[in-house]
Amino acid sequence: MIPSKLNELGAWQAAALLARRELRAADLVRACLDRVAERDGEVHAFAHIDPDTALAQARSLDAGPLRGPLHGLPLGVKDLFDTADLPTGYGSPIYAGYRPVADAAAVALCREAGALVLGKTVTTEFAYFHPGLTRNPHDLMHTPGGSSSGSAAAVADRMLPLALGTQTAGSIIRPAAYCGVVGYKPSWGRVPRAGVKSLSETLDTVGGFGRSVRDAALLGSVLIGDARLREEFAAGALRIGLCRTPEWPQADADTQHAWAEATAALAPHAVAMSDVVLPDDLPDLVALQKAVMAFEMSRALSHERLHHRDRLSPRLRALLDDGIAIPGAEHAAGLARTEAAKRRIDALFDQFDVLLAPSATGEAPVGLGATGDPLFCRSWTLLGLPCVHLPFARGSHGLPVGLQLVGRWGEDHRLLANAQWVHERLTR
């Protein structure tokens, strides 16, 4: 049954209706634009939007053949991605009004599959911590997280069904947790990063947001070029590893309650479920991720650091100063430790199908001057493993809370199938 408000359709459901020509892309886009007009004056999810172009593209899709699995779906694009037809500012005044000549590869792939770009969504300054204007749609006085703040908020507020994001520390999973949507960070290296403002060659990962696992998998199948992501949803009972991580003492009562709720719901259905014992010889992965990110960002943003220092936020300037002081030999040693840790962690997936882990310390913090702590995401980003945030609970202030599933590198299709199985049991 089609809901009366088309903007509330999930991507999976809308895609099926569009493919059968039971829904027109123009009607779906118009409903999403109406929602943007109604809400974005408060939420501020969009950095730029062009309604006339979006509607023209939708009418063109309606008049032509089916383009692909994303045919007619409105898409939000984080303002870290280049777009040929919309400005790209990277969340910085340095690039105000900048017009790239080409789409980022991920954007081009989505358009090729039939998606239409509704607009550019707000990012923090160069995807670091200095926040943009976006507010959490569940409570406008709370942060939506970052750096993919606008993408997560727009999907959560039913302004559009899908949006692109990136993660270098916790910039997909954390805003997905705070805004109560599904966030999917693919295995590192599986999605092309050409045309995305580079921050860290070792860490940057392109992914996205949907309102269900199937929605995120649909988007991921196009980004990765692997149809298995949208076709494998028949996972059996799982071997689930409970990985609280060494950072668990910093999880607040809301995350701890969600953990207890999840483990109680999953225990009767899992083939096996037990605590993960991490190898004793692992380095401090959080500290290592911070050092790798600082070193590589200070070099990736060398032009901005050298020629526009006064237009950078104090916190970003401090990171770049710290990073440029790190010796290259020290960074090389850190990369070697990272590769060794990847091999040690990969062995866990001989015992477990998925790892259940915290996504965030708790609910979205109150206030708009910061975007929260990516603490529980840093290690998984460093290790390059695919992650899916699953929203299913509410915290003490009524804001969304959830957990993430982590899979083996390169087995994104299995992770998403397993995430669907888990999410169904957490949301019954």
Q: How confident is the model at residue 77, as a pLDDT?
A: 98
The domain made up of 6-231 is a member of CATH 3.90.1300.10: yes
Domain spans in the chain, listed from the N-terminal domain onward: 6-231
Percent of the chain with pLDDT strictly greater than 70: 99
User: What mean pLDDT do residues 123-150 have?
Assistant: 98
Catalytic residue flag (residue 147): yes
Question: CA 222 to CA 113: how far, in whole Å?
Answer: 7
User: What mean pLDDT do residues 77-90 have?
Assistant: 98
Q: Which two tokens stand for residue 19?
A: 């493919």
The tens digit of pLDDT for each residue in 189-211 reads 999 999 999 999 999 999 999 99
User: Does residue 233 have a pLDDT over 80?
Assistant: no
Please report the DSSP string for 145-167 in residue order: -SSSHHHHHHHHTTS-SEEEEEE
Question: CA 229 to CA 292: how far, in whole Å?
Answer: 30
The tens digit of pLDDT for each residue in 360-402 reads 999 999 999 999 999 999 999 999 999 999 999 999 999 999 9
Q: How confident is the model at residue 4, as a pLDDT?
A: 77
The tens digit of pLDDT for each residue in 26-69 reads 999 999 999 999 999 999 999 999 999 999 999 999 999 999 99
Q: Reduce the DSSP state of residue 360 to 3 states and report it.
A: coil
CA angle 9, 414, 164 (to 5 degrees): 45
Q: How confident is the model at residue 232, as a pLDDT?
A: 74
Q: How confident is the model at residue 237, as a pLDDT?
A: 82
User: Does residue 1 have a pLDDT over 70?
Assistant: no
Catalytic residue flag (residue 148): no
Q: How confident is the model at residue 236, as a pLDDT?
A: 75
The active-site residue out of 92, 147, 187, 221 is: 147
First-to-final CA distance of the chain? 20
The active-site residue out of 92, 151, 171, 221 is: 171
The active-site residue out of 78, 185, 197, 290 is: 78
User: What mean pLDDT do residues 234-247 have?
Assistant: 90
Nearest to 355 by CA among 258, 245, 281: 245
Q: How confident is the model at residue 234 (pLDDT cuts 50, 70, 90)?
A: low
